[in-house]
A and B are shown apart, each in its own frame.
Chain A
């Protein structure tokens, strides 16, 4: 139960971060990616802010024997670089550049009641579910 509450709190703070930073707004995302047009560098600072906190925090957290509420850390263990990683990232980047939504802002945006976000979400979640169904 405490893990459920902590996950909810983490999601709430993450979502607030996406909204406060402006990442929830696809126009800001697309203008960040538009280096050769009306470039808005804001999102570089979103990532910079997140990484500044993340890089320092990880040094301390990963020295802990175990997480506060769980038995062990669940971290990705793979270190190989393959075509799936790069190909998947490129497909994701093309989709991100087309509409300006990545998964976090799209899911957070479900709380805003805007029809275009539900269209994107339905397509994204449908594709994820299909992928998981076919690849397992």
Chain B
């Protein structure tokens, strides 16, 4: 079951700008990159320093959902994947982001903002893999 969604350019740009502002804030104030898979991975590593700010950032993310829901109501979240798919996807995202040192935030926003070649290659790679995966799931195997 594929949900239809409509093109929302204004909220997309505003949300994107907020993400950019957050990344700049963390860099200018703490000197840190707002790469969420890196932050989560370091928090989960057996021996790791600097847990405090990382935990605070993650709590800030979760608090955003609570605050938004309180003020504006629950945001629209449409999940088509079944439990098996969610588990497989979660494992792939978990391993892939650690192996590839980043995700949409670290490579796609922060890395590209610094004009990092590694991040450009990573972003093109995960975008292409995502597009091919959706094509296969929706138009070749599924429907």
Bitwise, B77-105 to A at CB < 8 A (1) or not (0) is: 11111010111111111111111111111
CA distance A7 to B104 in the complex (A): 19
- B30 CB contacts on chain A under 8 angstroms: 3, 6-7, 10, 67, 69-70
- B14→A89 contact, CB < 8 A: no
Contact yes or no, A136 B47, CB < 8 A: yes
Q: Roughly how many angstroms separate A131 CA and B99 CA in the complex, as a whole number?
A: 8
Q: Which residues of chain B come closer than 8 Å to A74, judged between CB atoms?
A: 31-33
Nearest to A61 among chain B residues (CB) is B28
* A108-B59 Cα distance, complex, nearest whole Å: 9
A50 contacts across to B, CB distance below 8 A: 16-17, 19-20, 23, 109, 113
Contact of A89 with B126 in the complex, beta carbons under 8 Å: yes
Instruction: Judge whether B9 and A42 touch: CB under 8 Å.
Output: yes
* B124 nearest in chain A by CB position: A89
- Separation of A42 and B93 alpha carbons in the complex (Å): 22
Interchain nearest-CB distance for B1 vs A (Å): 10
Question: Which chain A residues lie closer than 8 Å to B86 at the CB level?
Answer: 99, 116, 119-120, 123
Count contacts between A and B, CB distance < 8 Å: 507
Number of interface residues of A (CB under 8 A): 118
A111 and B105 within 8 A (CB): no
Contact code string A71-95 (vs B, CB < 8 Å = 1, else 0): 1111110111100111111111111
Majority secondary structure, B binding face: helix
User: Which residues in window 11-64 of A have CB below 8 A to B?
Assistant: 11-28, 30-31, 33-38, 40-55, 57-58, 61-62, 64
Contact between A76 and B118, CB atoms less than 8 A apart: yes
A4 to chain B, nearest CB (A): 5
Contact B87 A123 (CB under 8 A): yes
Pairwise interchain contact A101-B89, C-beta atoms closer than 8 A: yes
Query: Is the CB–CB distance between A68 and B93 below 8 Å?
Result: no
Contact of B31 among A21, A66, A128 (CB under 8 A): A66
CB-contact partner of A128 in B6, B40, B58, B134, under 8 A: B40
Partner of B79, one of A26, A37, A104: A26
Contact of B61 among A14, A38, A78, A133 (CB under 8 A): A14
Q: Indicate if the CB atoms of B89 and A42 lie closer than 8 Å.
A: no
Most A Cβ at <10 Å: residue of B4, B81, B93, B109: B93
Q: Most chain-B Cβ atoms within 10 A of its Cβ — which of A21, A61, A92, A98? A: A92
Contact with A along B51-76 (1 / 0, CB 8 A): 01110111111111111110000111
Which residues on the A side are within 8 Å of B3 (C-beta)?
Answer: 27, 31
